[in-house]
Chain A
Amino acid sequence: MREFERHLDTINSCRFCPMCRHVCTVGEAVHRESVTPKGKGLTLFTILKGLQTFDPGVAEVMYQCSLCQLCLEWCVGNWDITGPTLEARRRIVSLGREPPQVRQMKAHIVDQGNPYGGKREDRFASIRHVEAKKGGSVLYFVGCGTAYRRPEIARAALAVLEAADIDYSILPDEECCGAYLDVMGYGEEARTFAQRNVDRFKASGCHTVILGCPHCFYTIKEMYPQWGVKPPKGIRVVHSTTYLRELVMQDRIKLGSLEGKATYQDPCRLGRYCGIYQEPREVIVSFEGLDLVEMRWNREKANCCGYGSGLAITFPRLADDIAMERIAQPKKTEAGFLVTACQSCKTAFVNHLSPEDNLNVLDLVELVAENLA
């Protein structure tokens, strides 16, 4: 198992260390030692020592992680257990021992271009203007989660682009960015999807690709080059929050006034993975009359919603348990708006709030679209 050699320092550091237990997103939901970074480190160590094998129990443990990296944020030694965890997933896939729901997700992506199993031809069924907008200089990459679960985010994004008079387009044959394939251990398939998407970017003639989903953004911007699949030179890859801030700052769009308070959920992939914390906050405070109130844990230490990195698909009950716990924090702020910038976060919150909570969950782009001056 040479592939683990580069992870030995991390495995050896995590195997007996409980110092991030209190913030482990999955550990705090299921309360099992095995799923924590310590548990994962120890599991891999004992496998390397011949005390156990990559059996179905180990496979489940390795897939029960939202890859949120909150543990890394708290780790004084800066040990990142997600590296060995992803390595383990690749190993498990190579042995054909991944949990059946993981295998099914992969089949959905390969067959239909999305992890949910929705039909390929239905990808943009809930989003208007798709056919009418081809060949624009700005490409809006919708992403699977938005297309199949939260199309209102895409509709809002298109409305903002139109309001700003942007020459935008959408890839009519858009499909999965490959993020979930990669994190589930299907590296080769992920690269195939990456190459196809990059080829489409080239063919579209765009100079900017806007991603509304942090998973897509991180994967295309950071992972594609690591996989050797580089977006063509001259194409800018940008997250919608950054793009929105620019539109506001350049007066391309005018924000209206809003009464009340908003709180912001930092998506793990946008915050901890990409370092984007300030841009969405700057847009929120640009609304006249809208106050930003922070949750107890925010920015680098923001808690994970539980729905990211495919966990809501592979372990939906676990993801729901995490989200149920997570929702307490925005409620405590007494804000009227819970703003996020990730379709997974939005779904997690929408699924666990009730009308009595009086909390309007919106992606940042929806907040903007609904409140243009």
Chain B
Amino acid sequence: MPIPNKLLYDLIHTELSDIVGPEHITRRRVDKLAYASDNSWVSQMWIDRGQEPPTADFVLFPHNAHEISEIIKVANTYRIPVVPWGGGTGSQGAVIPLYGGIIVDLKRLNRILEIDEESLTVTAEAGIIGQKLEWELNERGLTLAHYPASEYAATLGGYICARGSGTLSTKYGKAEDMVMWVKVVSPTGEIIETLPVPRHASGPGLLELFVGSEGTLGVIVEVKMRVDPLPEERRFRSYLFQDLDKGIEAGRQMMIQRLSPCVIRLYDEVDTKKYVKRVLSLDVTGSYMVVGVDGSREFTEVLWKKIIEICEGLGGEDLGSEPGQRWWDHRYDFYFPPFVRALPKLHGTIETVTTFKNIRPLYYAAKEIIEKDYADYGAYFFAHFSHWYPWGVMVYAQFMIDEPPQDPEEALDLHNRIWADAAKCFISHGGVLNEHHGIGLKLGWLMRKQYGAAWPDLVKIKNALDPNGIMNPGKLGFGPPK
């Protein structure tokens, strides 16, 4: 809720300033606007069209958990929102300060606290940028093995809060599979820790409560992650399948045979034509797949034989190792302008995950909805399949309209309608709202539909932990502060 008057605003500023020091708090317009958008299309479109975006009242840069605890206590006193901010790279608007309040930028909490080379774990503060952590680990022959496209800017805490995935998640898992322990400042200001290890039979998983919580249940301030040794070798191969179904079947076979490839990245025919050509300069027709393995030479040799058998058995044309290696070397190029999908186009990443049994019906149903129902707008649909599980696969589905309405309200409405139709389609086909980008402000209203009868229980947990509703209100479907 807005702070009711200037005097109170200045008094709160004094209190907050006393906690972090005057040089670590700002209420300048230039800073507020810098924290008014993330990587979400909606927040960017709003500014692109010259609309006044929601902004925070204050942006704070605390240095430790104690300061964050004190900030949260002040926020509870005045019942003003607290929005934790890591890298601001999320695509669902999870850090947009919808109700104003305090943005807590965590990037000063960037210390590596321990690298345990015996157990292969790293403990670090939540605000460290992923790439910087990775470089430090690499110097010791280790890797976090989490390679999201946002690695150059996203933070460790953000990885956990959004249940992120990296490009090698098929072998190494999502961030949620790597996290072992977190320290959290609760919505009432207590500094709490989860159990020291993630596997136990000591009651429900407290750790799980914070994973994917998107800042609504507290501020993650420290994280312990599993790490891996840098592999002796990592190699790639590319195949071109006649159609998407053949490619999906090849991936399924690799997974149900438990072959443990580090990556299977399968592009549908539209994505192959448009983006593989644009970024990888590969002009091919069909469904393009990059597959990779890593580990010791002996291990990868065995895997390769099996993978080649599967791909060639399904008619995959072997394009050799060079395109796959080029993809790996340039895997983030897709996300730089001018290659990144960006304004003025209207676009959205509506990725989901489901079982192998459901994936084809889900994909084709979503494609039909977007391309038929929104044909008047020239909408098109394309996808790649890049996070594979023993039981299913994620489809990184996207929609795009090259020339969307210029009116911001009309554009927003269109964006929301397309996304909602796709999301409902996913739910009805056994999928989920989202696989690794999160919910944010974008999909919160659909959480009730997704969770059904279980949704009120999630709300009760939120209300119990955060009685004033100050933590990142308006996200995950939890509504405004009390």
Contact = CB atoms under 8 A, between A and B. Distances in A.
Interface stretch (A17-25, A107-115, A161-169, A285-293): A17-25
Contacts of A32: 26, 31, 34, 59, 61, 105
Contact of B108 (A14, A31, A76): A31
Nearest to B127: A31
Contact size class for A? 35 or more
Contacts of B64: none
Interface string A21-53: 111000000011110000100110110011110
A249 interface: no
A100 interface: no
Q: Among the interface residues B52, B139, B153, B330, which one has the most CB atoms of the partner chain A within 10 A?
A: B153
A283 to B, nearest CB: 29
A33 B110 CA distance: 15
A52 B153 contact: no
A124 B52 CA distance: 55
Contacts of B39: 16, 18
B165 interface: no
Interface stretch (B228-236, B331-339, B460-468, B471-479): B331-339
Given A31-B108, A51-B33, A21 B153 contact: yes
Interface in B112-157: 127, 129, 131-132, 135, 139, 150, 152-153
Given A31-B61, A33-B105, A76-B333, A52 B29 contact: yes
A49 B110 CA distance: 34
Task: Tell me the interface secondary structure of chain B in the complex.
Answer: loop
A61 B50 contact: no
Interface in B50-92: 50, 52, 59, 61, 87-89
A234 interface: no
B34 A22 contact: no
Contacts of A51: 33, 47, 50, 52
B333 A42 contact: no
B353 interface: no
A19 B105 contact: no
Nearest to A76: B336
A270 interface: no
B28 interface: yes
Contacts of B131: 22
A46 B333 CA distance: 26
Contacts of A49: 47, 50
B30 A61 contact: yes
A199 to B, nearest CB: 41
Contact of A16 (B37, B50, B59, B135): B37
A32 B127 CA distance: 12
A22 B129 contact: yes
A246 B129 CA distance: 43
A19 B34 contact: no
Nearest to A54: B30
B95 to A, nearest CB: 10
A107 to B, nearest CB: 26
Given A22-B129, A49-B47, A16 B153 contact: no
Nearest to B50: A49
Most A C-beta atoms less than 10 A away, residue of B39, B107, B110, B337: B337
A58 interface: yes
A224 to B, nearest CB: 33
A286 to B, nearest CB: 30
Contacts of B129: 21-22
Interface in A305-349: none
B338 A13 contact: yes
Contacts of A14: 337
Nearest to A49: B50
B349 interface: no
Contact of A76 (B33, B339, B342): B339
A355 interface: no
B30 A18 contact: no
B441 to A, nearest CB: 17
B239 interface: no
B44 interface: yes
Given A21-B152, A22-B131, A57 B29 contact: yes
Contacts of A22: 129, 131-132, 152-153
A55 interface: yes
A228 interface: no
A264 interface: no
B30 A31 contact: no
A20 B152 contact: yes
Given A31-B107, A34-B31, A77 B336 contact: yes
Interface in B291-333: 330, 332-333
Nearest to B43: A16
B52 to A, nearest CB: 7
Given A31-B61, A51-B33, A46 B47 contact: yes
A372 interface: no
A31 B39 CA distance: 18
B8 interface: no
A348 to B, nearest CB: 21
Given A18-B39, A18-B88, A77 B31 contact: no
Nearest to A74: B152
A339 B397 CA distance: 52
**Which of A34, A39, A42 gathers most chain B CB within 10 Å?**
A34
Select the residue from A14, A19, A43, A46 with max chain B CB neighbours within 10 A.
A19
Contact of A17 (B34, B107, B110, B340): B340
A12 B47 CA distance: 12
A75 interface: yes
Given A21-B153, A51-B47, A76-B339, 12 more contacts: A17-B336, A19-B152, A19-B153, A19-B335, A22-B153, A32-B59, A42-B47, A55-B29, A57-B28, A57-B31, A77-B338, A296-B139
17 contacts: A16-B44, A17-B336, A18-B39, A18-B150, A20-B152, A21-B153, A31-B110, A31-B127, A32-B105, A33-B88, A34-B30, A39-B34, A52-B29, A52-B33, A58-B30, A77-B337, A296-B135
